[in-house]
Structure 1
Amino acid sequence: MLFRPAGTPSPQAREYIAQGEAEGVHQAYKCRVRKQWWRVPLVSRADLLLTYMNADTPRLTTKTAGALHLNSVHGVYLTPAHRDLARELLPLAALNSVTMLGAEFTGRAYGGGLLKMEPGEAGLWAMPSPRIVKQARDALIAVRPQVAGRLRNGEVLEAAKLVDDALLIRAVGMRRPDIADIRAARQALASHREARSRRGTR
């Protein structure tokens, strides 16, 4: 549970704060730079969440719980004109081979072969346009249960193939050989990222 008392801390909260000071928690870097070292800063509720340390590819998810987020994920805020459509379908539509390839260029390789996506980089990451997502809506909804099943089994690339069929082939009109080339390019970059990580641990 996040300790973040509203208003003036209660006597019990004061005891807890004093315990943290006795243990030196208030000297930690992020605590030292706060006006009240024990009050974690919060941002407004986001529409979507974006993973930013990924072994395979960054993922978007619609936040339906109304919960606040800390810095273990990024919050994504949508414009009113596109909020409903994006909350419904963008996490699914973004799991396509073109967007996954773009993540390899936009993000950066990190320790352990992870792909890291910072907010500034996420702002440059190519996403399907609202027009294309709307055009592919019925096809995306039809494959959503199958995509969810693949993701539960850890089959990200198989899930992406289902999205490719619904979005890239049916809505955009791309050719299967071209999509195969895009998948191969994404795999080559991901393999290079993972290989660099293995060389770094020797």
Structure 2
Amino acid sequence: MKVINLHQEEHEIIAMAVENNRHAQQKIYSKYASKMLSVCRTYTKDVHHAEDLMITAFMKVFAHLKNFEHKGSFEGWIRRIMVNECISYLRAQKKVSFLEDEYYQEDAFNNIESNLSVDDLQTLIDSLPDGYKMVFNLYAIEGYKHQEIGQMLGISEGTSKSQLCHARRMLQEQVLRQKNYSNGTESI
């Protein structure tokens, strides 16, 4: 019974927010802001830019809230707006370029045990070229398929696969380098 009540309460809050009820909008913002800031942070290195993107995206959420059809997850709907806002921002900044590389070799990536923290992993992902990083985030973190990524970014499915392959290879090399460095086997 509680699940139904929670779903009903969210439904009512959304309906109130559609009517520009600031209290309802604040409830939605408070519930999802930290998760959505994390989403935006995966696309930009600067937390201040991530905050700006999140706020801009929340303005779009509230402007288009009447279009939410209550099919699927409300959080997922908000998340997609956040991702699209980040992609639009990066495109406008002309920070993303994709090598049209249809030919990629699917590598067998080894599971490398590592004691990296979440912050260390984010730093490694941040060091990727923007195109690699964007495809990696969309595929590995957001769960999009290559065909969807291609449509979102205006690239071919093969280019998406290639970008992911290059990103994985770079991350694996960085993790191995860091692991060797911490074990004292890194050569200068």
TM-score range, shorter chain: 0.3 to 0.5
More helix by share: 2
TM-score (norm 2): 0.33
Greater Rg over alpha carbons, structure: 1
